[in-house]
Amino acid sequence: MLFKTSFFAVAFAAVAALTAEAHVSLREPCPRYGSYAGCPAPPAGQSVDYDIRSPIGVYGSIGQPLCKRTVPVTSKVPTYNAGQTINVKFDIGAAHGGGHCQFALSYDGGKKWVNIKEVIRECLRGNINAATYTIPVKIPNNAPSGRVVFQWLWNNAIGNRELYSNCVDMQIKGSNGGSLTGKEPVIINYGPNSQRVGEFPGANDKDGRELFTSPSRKSYTFRVPASRTA
């Protein structure tokens, strides 16, 4: 009986630990290796991410890379037009009082990023209906055509000082060649070398928003050559 009690106690603790790590992820468009209906299959050698709602790191340590999974999807990916708005939907386990969301694009596979939308403090905040909560994110009108990675970052307002991230492989139809310039993402609470922002449950709490408006914040420009077959 003692063995059975110990076994079930350990099993319950393991399930509880997994549940505690289940917080938020992208749902639409489908994140890399997502288990949601209609998501592209993981590439060869990779597996479905059943812990996709977990954070990728905290201020003291990095658990996973910024995209969570680094090998891009090789099967058919969604296509969006430059200037089109994506109604981003989420799988919400715990919203932790809201926080800061950033949405970015990369034309080099995730080595560099430019933000295309930021939602400071109000992202995932309030009385959220997970079935209907969306954030409209517009692809820039001048975005060049090409294969890109779309990234979502979220820093929660309440709880462990964490960073969440998912990425989506997609195709953009835009101008034949050109450039896209924007601010680089602000990396908060992701390893000891990142910026640290404490909890900010109250309206007057310091929430690190000055990091987004700092004159020293870096910008980046992607330069995409024109295609001869376009």
Per the model's pLDDT, the better-predicted residue between 178 and 95 turns out to be 178
- Bridge-based pairing of strands 79-81 and 162-173 is parallel
In the predicted model, what is the mean pLDDT of residues 33-48?
Answer: 92
pLDDT at 122 over 50: yes
The phi-psi region of residue 8 (left if phi > 0; otherwise alpha if psi is between -120 and 50; otherwise beta) is alpha
**Per DSSP, what are the bridge partners of residue 182?**
220
Enumerate residues 6+ apart whose C-beta is below 8 A from 154: 24, 99, 100, 101, 102, 123, 124, 163, 164, 165
Nearest to 100 by CA among 156, 24, 183: 156
Residues contacting residue 203 through CB under 8 Å, at least 6 positions apart: none
Best-predicted range by mean pLDDT (1-10, 68-77, 158-167): 158-167
> How much is the pTM?
0.89
| Stretch 120-137: mean pLDDT | 87
Query: Which range is least confidently modeled, 9-13, 107-111, 208-212, 220-224?
Result: 9-13
Measure the CA–CA gap between 141 and 111, rounded to whole angstroms.
23
The yes-or-no verdict on residue 11 having pLDDT over 60 is: no
**Which pLDDT score, from 0 to 100, does residue 19 have?**
37
Parse the chain into domains and list their residue ranges.
Answer: 2-224
AA letter at 190: Y
Q: What is the CATH number of domain 2-224?
A: 2.70.50.70
Structural contact between residues 57 and 67, judged by C-beta atoms closer than 8 angstroms = no
